Amino acid sequence: MIKIVLLVSFSLLMISQARTQETAEKYLVDSASVERSGVPKGEILHSHFDHSAIFPGTTREYWIYVPAQYRPDKPACVYINQDGIQWKAPVVFDNLIHLGEMPVTIGIFVSPGVVKAKGPQGANDRYNRSYEYDGLGDAYARFLLEELLPEVEKQHTGDGRAIHLSNSGNDRAIGGSSSGAVCAFTAAWEKPEAFSRVFSAIGTYVGLRGAERYPTLIRKYEPRPIRIFLQDGTQDLNIYGGDWWKANESMERALSYSGYEVQHVWGEGGHNGQQGTSLFPQAMRWLWKDWPNAVATGGSKNQMLTDLLIPGQGWELVSQGYGFSEGLAANAAGEVFFQDIPQAKTYKVGLDGAITPLPIDSKKASGTCFGPDGKRYVAAGGTRQILAYDEKGKTSLVADQISCNDLVVARNGNIYVTEPDGTEKPSHIYLIRPNGEKKIVDQGIRFANGIALTPDQTQLYITESATQWIWIYTIEQDGSLSNKQAYGWLHMPGNETNAWPDGLKCDTSGRVYVASRMGIQVLDQVGRVNLILPVPSGQASNCCFGGRNFDILYVSCGDKIYRRALKTRGINPFELPYKPLPPRL
């Protein structure tokens, strides 16, 4: 049943141009696609999987190719293909492995899920192919890693060999055609540590379920260790979702711009697997070339990436094991303080990297900021107060009866505070003057969260976590706010309804660093995301610049704190206002 459905759905995709494609496509047959005597043949196992928790209710077939050269004492490399067995893959693998042109590789060929109908007899099943394959996000990658691959390793060959798969991304390739191709790329994009080599034929990088975003995201993200082979033809589909051929061209140009290892072969064919089948041996040779050397990342042409990132220096784990880390702020010496909210603990990261817990009950503090008086101001969520700590730890009450989330203390002593009230009710923005006067200066943002001043302290940024916006205000002479505008626009994961922008900070160039679901998104002064820095794990909740020169970006991510040295200097609100160079428009 599944095989028939796949053939029908694939045929439907071809109907729109079947009449215009009169000339039969002809491609050379690679010698590796032909069965040869004397070449050891692998074994193919057939099975079903019907107990997915990630795609509940689905059932699917899968096939396992085990090469004759495989030995259970050494975990094998892996190739995963969507839509079952394609490309004459078992024959190709037999020949290439025999010739030493690819490593000993176990092939896993998996069909998309189907949810069987339970209604009246004759009711339609639910076909999950587009949902699983065209959608963005990590669901399908997790299905492979957490559910299917462990299931595969429970199998045995006909002669009793156990199946052991390598868990290194450098030893894994993934591929497919059409929606299966974009699915393969998404798995590698989401989990590059698990899949580093991608074969993509007639890929659907168009507006079906969000894959049209990829060329833009590829240009903005810090490059990932992925090698990709692309194929498409000029007569591919051009329908409601987009132009397949031009979308694949855009993918190739974006990958090349960002320094990826990308190979492409363009033909004149339509939406079918003919050229892909012809090219598959060539693609496998290229994807596995120089293995076991790791897939490398090249140099991106993204100017902000070049301006900020130090070659060879990535994220470093500072500490871990917290309930939920938040409230990052640096003092004048460059020491960094952060909060563990549920444990009501405050920690200091010394200039030598040592972590010191402060001997206080933080009252479940979140937002933190150092003022021009040297005091550490915190939003004590447990008591609905704003408190200030001097250098000796003495506490003073700044404001009461305010459910503060985050705050910033300006050079003139004015304090701006975000007070969210869920994602559906309007938030309040407070101004607390040095004399203690408290007043609401704005309301209406859906979950107002992070807050920061521009380097010259003439404007105020506030993140709206329930959306993908960063709001900006003009600060008037009396501290009130005007000229409110949804100014900064953030990217959000394809499977989420908001970017969840949280804490944010600025550097001396006026760039804005925003903690979000996708990591740290870096905007220029006019509100455009130029660069996305994914974090190693967790969701980024806040950030600050620390170290003696304020050139180390610290980020809180769930139970962990990370840091990364950058080629810039952060700006602190307790410093004299600083005017960056005018933005490039």
Q: Which residues contact 60 (CB under 8 A, 6 or more apart)?
A: 2, 48, 49, 50, 110, 111, 112, 113, 114
- Supply the pLDDT for residue 16: 39
Residue at 416 is within a domain? yes
Q: Classify the phi-psi angles of 97: left when phi > 0, otherwise alpha if psi is within -120 to 50, otherwise beta.
A: alpha
Clarify whether residues 276 and 325 are in a common domain.
Answer: no
Owner of token pair 């447990």 = 382
Clarify whether residues 93 and 200 are in a common domain.
Answer: yes
Residue at 576 is within a domain? no
Helix/strand/coil for 379: strand
Clarify whether residues 262 and 182 are in a common domain.
Answer: yes
Q: Is the peptide bond before 292 cis (omega within 30 degrees of 0)?
A: yes
Clarify whether residues 414 and 315 are in a common domain.
Answer: yes
> What stretches in the chain show pLDDT beneath 70?
1-23, 422-424
Clarify whether residues 274 and 315 are in a common domain.
Answer: no
Residue at 63 is within a domain? yes
CATH number at residue 388: 2.120.10.30
Residue at 453 is within a domain? yes
Q: What φ, ψ does residue 388 adopt, rounded to 5°?
A: -125, 135
Residue at 14 is within a domain? no
- Total domains, the chain: 2
CA 40 from centre of chain:
41
180 neighbors 81 (Cβ within 8 angstroms)? yes
Find the largest Cα–Cα distance for the chain.
91
The residue among 491, 367, 494, 490 whose CA lies nearest residue 432 is: 367
Q: Which residues contact 254 (CB under 8 A, 6 or more apart)?
A: 214, 215, 216, 218, 219
Residue at 317 is within a domain? yes
- Supply the pLDDT for residue 584: 80
Final residue belonging to a domain, choices 287, 320, 348: 287
Final residue belonging to a domain, choices 229, 256, 287: 287
Clarify whether residues 478 and 361 are in a common domain.
Answer: yes
Clarify whether residues 335 and 269 are in a common domain.
Answer: no
**Nearest-angstrom CA–CA distance, 378 and 549:** 24
Residue at 26 is within a domain? no
- Tens digit of each residue's pLDDT (9 = 90 or more) over 121-175: 878 999 999 999 999 999 999 999 999 999 999 999 999 999 999 999 999 999 9
Clarify whether residues 188 and 119 are in a common domain.
Answer: yes
Clarify whether residues 394 and 508 are in a common domain.
Answer: yes
The residue among 406, 575, 415 whose CA lies nearest residue 479 is: 415
**Nearest-angstrom CA–CA distance, 190 and 208:** 18
> In 113-243, where does DSSP find H-type helix?
129-133, 139-142, 149-152, 179-190, 214-220
Q: How far is CA 117 from CA 51, 57, 60, 124, 196, in A?
A: 16, 10, 14, 6, 37
CATH number at residue 270: 3.40.50.1820
DSSP 565: E
- Supply the pLDDT for residue 422: 65
Q: Which H or E run includes 488?
A: strand 481-489
Residue at 573 is within a domain? no
- Supply the pLDDT for residue 314: 95
Clarify whether residues 279 and 339 are in a common domain.
Answer: no
Q: Give residue 252's domain range.
A: 2-6+37-287
Question: Which stretches of 2-57 are assigned E, i.e. beta strand?
Answer: 43-49
Measured between alpha carbons, how far apart are the two ends of the chain, in Å? Answer: 57
| Torsion on CA atoms 36, 41, 42, 43, rounded to nearest 10 | 120
**Nearest-angstrom CA–CA distance, 566 and 528:** 20
Clarify whether residues 338 and 217 are in a common domain.
Answer: no
Clarify whether residues 273 and 404 are in a common domain.
Answer: no
Final residue belonging to a domain, choices 287, 318, 342: 287
**Nearest-angstrom CA–CA distance, 504 and 512:** 7
- Supply the pLDDT for residue 23: 56
394 neighbors 380 (Cβ within 8 angstroms)? no
